[in-house]
Amino acid sequence: MRQPWRVAVVGGGIAGLAAAVRLRDSAPAGTEITVYEQSGALGGKLRTGELAGQPVEFGAESFLMRDPAGAESAAVALARRLGLGEKIVHPTVGQAALVIDGGLRPIPGGTLVGVPGDLERVATVARPAADADIDGGRPLVGPDADVSVGALVRSRFGNEVVERLVDPMLGGVYAGRADDLSLVTTMPALARTARVEHTLVGAVRAAQAAAPRAPGAPVFGTLAGGLSTLVEAAVTASGATVRRDAAVRELTATETGWRLTVGPTRDPELVDVDAVVLAVPARPAARLLAGPAPSVAAGVGALDYASVALVTMALPQPRLPELSGFLVPSTEGLLIKAATFFTTKWGHLRRPDGLAVVRASVGRYGEEAHLQRPDADLAATVHRELSAVLGTPLPAPVDGHVQRWGGALPQYAPGHADRLAAARTALRAAHPTLVLAGAGYDGVGIPVCVRSGETAAEEIITALGGSAR
Ligand SMILES: Cc1cc2nc3c(=O)[nH]c(=O)nc-3n(C[C@H](O)[C@H](O)[C@H](O)COP(=O)(O)OP(=O)(O)OC[C@H]3O[C@@H](n4cnc5c(N)ncnc54)[C@H](O)[C@@H]3O)c2cc1C
């Protein structure tokens, strides 16, 4: 293999940047790493903006502190690696609410993304079906099977638990519906126990016991300076050459690696590299794979995405409850899907002048038509709905921002994990120096995407002949 290695990272989101950092740390010294990002800014769905002089997340807001096995999450490990460990802060108010019949009720504790392990604890919000969760003498889910979360929970606990608890909680992460989302991909811990346990209560309890949480240990963290500081620090640590406004339009296999076609059709740039980390969402990934690996492209391209808009407003001294925010079941008929009271939830953002920053998320999978409305219309509707839910007219905002994220949140249909594994296996066999990473493949979330980027980097290093360090 020619030295130094030349590795292209396509996609400057957190997955691509985590791959670049891992390549710098583990590939031979002198490896030339170039990050190609089609937009003018790095970070992808991580974007810290400003409202009324206050840093605000216009994309992802926080990360899980622990991975499913209970160890430090990959996002926390990356922050530490980048010297940002001291900047990790946690919510000061963790309690959120659900909108039920137009008013707020605290989200009951002790559930797994809304799926209860103790039916009595959720009685304030939803009445579980009586006697449906019986032991039928066999595991809930077959050894290789996958089902939708909604189908499983409806069959065991009835419709209300799905509509009032599971749907809004899964919707808060995926903007999708429990009836469409894969158990294996969106709730892997529950999927594992559902293959052993005979009741859903038993499966939830077994999943909770398998990943006990230290009492008082924070679940979420963010960075005091905003998540864009993670992006900037990763770029610096990677020592990568960064190419902004540089869309990769085509990938062609060469005798020794890959040729990238970069930039506008009229004036393309051709770049030869030894290996590629493809850290872009499924649709652009499928387009790039169509030439070198058409069957893999078809598998990857089958993944659909939901679009959302985040409407953020700065309100002068509004009367807000001591809650981190609320989630809205789709049965409530509101445009708002979820709201976060930023300046209540995050103590480091509280302002002495009482200015509050509230962010509402709008848009559910299949209801994209609502997002066609102009910014001002979305903002006015959000303001009106917030006032109605809080039962008090909110003051007029002093500043506002609407961030649209088109095709942003993957909708994992049942069977996704198997389809992905088959696509990856086929890609690895045909092209070991082209590796997929990031959003849309292994799951949603900063830790998953960081881990995915790091794993891709390690696969590339192995494919190119192992690490020199
Ligand atoms: C509104 C919203 C809120 C979220 N909140 C949270 C949260 O609070 N916590 C959490 O853990 N996760 C959250 N997520 C999920 C999380 O942000 C994502 O899973 C993660 O950031 C995805 O990172 P990525 O690098 O894989 O992809 P992306 O961030 O999508 O980055 C991919 C990059 O590739 C670029 N690209 C695409 N095509 C090309 C091409 N052909 N050539 C070059 N570049 C290209 C894109 O411009 C983009 O910058 C949220 C997501 C959204 C949409």
| Nearest ligand 1 atom, CA 405 | 53
pLDDT at residue 213, as a whole number: 75
Cα torsion angle, 429, 430, 435, 437, sign: negative
How many Å lie between the centroid of ligand 1 and the Cα of residue 281? 8
Nearest protein CA to atom 29 of ligand 1, as residue: 44
Structure tokens at 413: 């249909």
| Nearest ligand 1 atom, CA 452 | 26
Q: Across 300-365, where does the E strand assignment appear?
A: 304-316, 325-327, 336-341, 355-362
Angle at 375 between CA 371 and CA 379, to 5 degrees: 95
How many Å lie between the centroid of ligand 1 and the Cα of residue 254? 29
Residue 346 DSSP one-character state: -
Q: How far is CA 385 from the centre of its chain?
A: 26
Q: Choose the residue to mutate in 88, 231, 244, 280 for probing ligand 1, maximizing ligand atoms within 8 Å of C-beta.
A: 280
* Cα Rg of the chain (Å, integer): 23
How many Å lie between the centroid of ligand 1 and the Cα of residue 121? 35
d(CA 374, CA 149): 34
- 279 within ligand 1 shell (Cβ under 6 A): yes
How many Å lie between the centroid of ligand 1 and the Cα of residue 439? 6
- 247 within ligand 1 shell (Cβ under 6 A): yes
d(CA 440, CA 412): 8
d(CA 296, CA 290): 8
| Nearest ligand 1 atom, CA 449 | 26
Closest CA to 179 of 138, 149, 205: 149
- 308 within ligand 1 shell (Cβ under 6 A): yes
9 forms beta bridges with 35, 277
Burial profile 409-420: b = 16 or more Cβ within 10 angstroms, e = fewer: bbbbbbebbebb
- 171 within ligand 1 shell (Cβ under 6 A): no
Q: Across 91-164, where does the E strand assignment appear?
A: 96-100, 103-106, 111-112, 115-116
| Nearest ligand 1 atom, CA 62 | 8
Answer whether 0.85 is exceeded by the pTM.
yes
How many Å lie between the centroid of ligand 1 and the Cα of residue 127? 37
Tens-level pLDDT at each residue, the chain (469 residues): 667 999 999 999 999 999 999 999 999 999 999 999 999 999 999 999 999 988 899 999 999 999 877 889 999 999 999 999 999 999 999 899 999 999 999 999 989 999 999 999 999 999 999 889 999 999 999 999 999 999 999 999 999 999 999 999 999 999 999 999 999 999 999 999 999 999 999 999 999 998 877 778 899 999 999 999 999 999 999 999 999 999 999 999 999 999 999 998 888 999 999 999 999 999 999 999 999 999 899 888 889 999 999 999 999 999 999 999 999 999 999 999 999 999 999 999 998 999 999 999 999 999 889 999 999 999 999 999 999 999 999 999 999 999 999 999 999 999 999 998 999 999 999 999 999 998 678 889 999 999 999 999 999 999 998 754 4
How many Å lie between the centroid of ligand 1 and the Cα of residue 42? 10
- 280 within ligand 1 shell (Cβ under 6 A): yes
How many Å lie between the centroid of ligand 1 and the Cα of residue 34? 19
The burial of 95, by beta-carbon neighbours within 10 Å (0-12 exposed, 13-18 middle, 19 or more buried), is given as middle
How many Å lie between the centroid of ligand 1 and the Cα of residue 14? 7
DSSP line for 76-88:
HHHHHHTT-GGGE
| Nearest ligand 1 atom, CA 310 | 1
How many Å lie between the centroid of ligand 1 and the Cα of residue 47? 10
| Nearest ligand 1 atom, CA 439 | 26
| Nearest ligand 1 atom, CA 63 | 11
d(CA 128, CA 126): 6
